[in-house]
Copies of this chain bind each other. A is one copy, B any other.
Amino acid sequence: MLLLDGRTLSAQIKSEIAQEVKHDFLDKGKPAPHLAAVLVGEDPASQTYVANKEKSCREVGFISSVYRFPADVAEKKLLEVVDFLNNDVEVDGFIVQLPLPRHILEQHIIERVNPLKDVDGFHPVNVGRMMLNLPSFLPATPYGIMTLLERYKIETGGKHVVVLGRSNIVGTPISLLLSRKTKTANATVTLCHSYTPDLKKFSLQADILIVAMGKPEFVTADMVKPEAVVIDVGMHRIPDPDTKSGFRLKGDVKFDQVSRKCAAITPVPGGVGLMTIVSLLLNTLKAAKKEIK
């Protein structure tokens, strides 16, 4: 069984990015790529994600900035901040950390972001361009999965990929990306979800099984074809009094069982999650290099 090691791979890609920042930006007298984040309220998961983003930016030599607002900030004010960042020539890309408080319509904010700075890939223009196989900013988690498959040379052409979960930010876009007519895709893809009556019927057919359901340890060994490749997008804090933190991280896949049966698998933690932040860095690099037009 091959461990698809997001820790080692993300470290390697970060070091490649750091070299590119040095050679193509700093050594040429250009400012380093600049990623900004807008953070509203005190949601702990959002705080952690933005802190990790800042740390990753430092590691690769990016400039990083965070714009913080209280949970009761007005939508109008937030739209002004988006406009400000859209127009700030010193900012290459930015994200507005989701979820936002209920009084703010997320779609208003998302659609206000300049698509050329939309390094989260959430603007409908980027989503549409992704479907149309045109250059675009890819959403971070699907982009991370694509990178993982590519770097580990997992063949996808002609394979049957089964995706469990149809969210707008993971399941649906990864199903699109893997079915596109490109060297690194060309898979036959089945998208399953809460209305699929018999998930096992489909998961057992998968050469590559991508699990993004948000259900801790849902996928058991009997649901997986021998020698399948398993990508686990889940991330859950399971209470565990035996650990210092009081919890353990688990994915959507029962790792101990499934890892004994499959050809390759991503661990949780140390798998897809780390690739997500690397994708955000890669998107910011593309924005700074004006690769997406």
Contacts and interface: CB of A to CB of B under 8 A. Distances in A.
Interface of A: 107, 123-134, 157-158, 166, 168, 172-173, 175-176, 179-181, 186-197, 202
Contacts of A168: 131-133
A82 to B, nearest CB: 17
Contacts of A193: 179, 181, 186, 188
A40 B195 CA distance: 45
B134 A129 contact: no
Do most interface residues of chain A lie in helix, strand or loop, or is the interface mixed? mixed
B176 A186 contact: no
A132 to B, nearest CB: 5
B172 A179 contact: yes
A142 to B, nearest CB: 12
Interface hub of A134, A173, A193 (most chain B Cβ within 10 A): A193
A187 B107 CA distance: 25
Nearest to A162: B190
Contacts of A134: 107, 124
13 contacts: A124-B124, A124-B126, A127-B128, A128-B130, A131-B168, A131-B176, A132-B168, A158-B195, A166-B179, A172-B179, A188-B195, A188-B202, A190-B190
Interface hub of A128, A129, A186 (most chain B Cβ within 10 A): A128
Nearest to A189: B191
A172 B124 contact: no
5 closest A-B pairs by beta carbon, nearest first, are A124-B128, A127-B128, A128-B128, A186-B195, A190-B190
